[in-house]
Amino acid sequence: MSKRWFITGTDTEVGKTVASCALLQAANRAGYHTAGYKPVASGSDLTPEGVRNGDALALQRNSSLELGYSEVNPYVFEEPTSPHLVSRTTGIAIERAVMSQGLAALEQKADWVQVEGAGGWFTPLSETWTFADWVREQQLPVILVVGVKLGCINHAMLTAAAVQAAGLRLAGWIANDVTPPGARHQDYLASLQARIPAPMLGEIPWLDDPFTRDTGRFLDISLLD
């Protein structure tokens, strides 16, 4: 049985991909055969190889297994907006079955599969369902990435409450420093630690090059057991 995780965040642009790459690096170091998965990506570029999303490419690069692009990212949209909107505009319906088949295929190959969502917990995938509905269907344990800044305590508590209301396990959370530490930084961390009902796996500092550095060392994945 593979270990499976769903990586959500307190918002879009809070470091889910940075933290996902760090988690993959930590799992690689622990000897897992890892695969990253970005089922739905919006905000992508047309390249000679086809439409490519930066998150998916980063997950592909940091997976220990050699994975084809479409294995990592079945739904790729160019416009950087909410998936339900770009799905409507392009006429390409996002189907749960396709998302689930992609996950099942990676589970055949990898013993550690990490799924990155899009935006925050309730990002809509159509007029009638959200990413959270699929996570619930899949019964994935959730890891929450908190972009540490003013406002994140409320967003973290709302997300933790929603995950628990869905009957899912909040397995851990990661503090990601999206700015240089300000005067209240330690107070924010302590406030989050006191309120998020899951272990803090680590803190990723503010870095010049968060995608090219060895960031796995900032996380303790043994806390996920």
Ligand X SMILES: Nc1ncnc2c1ncn2[C@@H]1O[C@H](COP(=O)(O)OP(=O)(O)OP(=O)(O)O)[C@@H](O)[C@H]1O
Ligand Y SMILES: C[C@H](N)[C@H](N)CCCCCC(=O)O
Report in angstroms how near the CB of residue 123 gets to Mg ion at its nearest: 11
3 is catalytic: no
Distance between CA atoms of residues 86 and 57, nearest Å: 20
Nearest CB to ligand X, comparing residues 14 and 110: 14
Query: Any bridge partners for residue 77, and if so which?
Result: 42
Nearest CB to ligand Y, comparing residues 69 and 107: 69
Asked if residue 39 belongs to a known ligand binding site, the reply is no
- Binding to Mg ion by CB under 5 A, coded x per residue (else -) over 53-92, reads --x-------------------------------------
Integer CA distances (angstroms), 199 to 112, 169, 211, in order: 19, 12, 24
52 lies in the binding site for Mg ion (CB under 5 A): no
17 lies in the binding site for Mg ion (CB under 5 A): yes
* Binding at 206: pick from ligand X, Mg ion, ligand Y, none (beta carbon under 5-8 Å per type): ligand X
Q: Restricting to residues 2-21, name those near ligand Y by CB under 6 A.
A: 12
Decide: 16 and 116 in contact? Cβ < 8 Å: yes
Report in angstroms how near the CB of residue 194 gets to Mg ion at its nearest: 27
Distance between CA atoms of residues 197 and 157, nearest Å: 9
Question: What's the distance, CA 144 to chain centroid?
Answer: 8
Residues that bind ligand X (CB under 6 A): 9, 12-18, 55, 118-119, 176-178, 204, 206-207, 210
42 lies in the binding site for ligand Y (CB under 6 A): yes
Query: Any bridge partners for residue 200, and if so which?
Result: 173
Q: Restricting to residues 176-215, name those near ligand Y by CB under 6 A.
A: none
Asked if residue 79 belongs to a known ligand binding site, the reply is no
Rama region for 78: left / alpha / beta (φ>0; ψ in -120 to 50; rest): alpha
Nearest CB to ligand X, comparing residues 119 and 216: 119
Nearest CB to ligand X, comparing residues 32 and 131: 131
Q: Restricting to residues 103-132, name those near ligand Y by CB under 6 A.
A: 118-120, 123
- Joined together, the tokens standing for residue 114 give 């990490």
Distance between CA atoms of residues 141 and 129, nearest Å: 19
User: What 8-state DSSP symbol labels residue 124?
Assistant: B
Report in angstroms how near the CB of residue 31 gets to ligand X at its nearest: 25
- The single-letter code of the amino acid at 85 is L
Classify residue 165 by burial, with Cβ atoms within 10 Å: 0-12, 13-18, 19+: exposed
Distance between CA atoms of residues 164 and 170, nearest Å: 7
- Residues annotated as catalytic (active site), given as ranges: 38
Summarize as ranges the residues that interact with ligand Y (CB under 6 A). Answer: 12, 42-43, 80-82, 118-120, 123
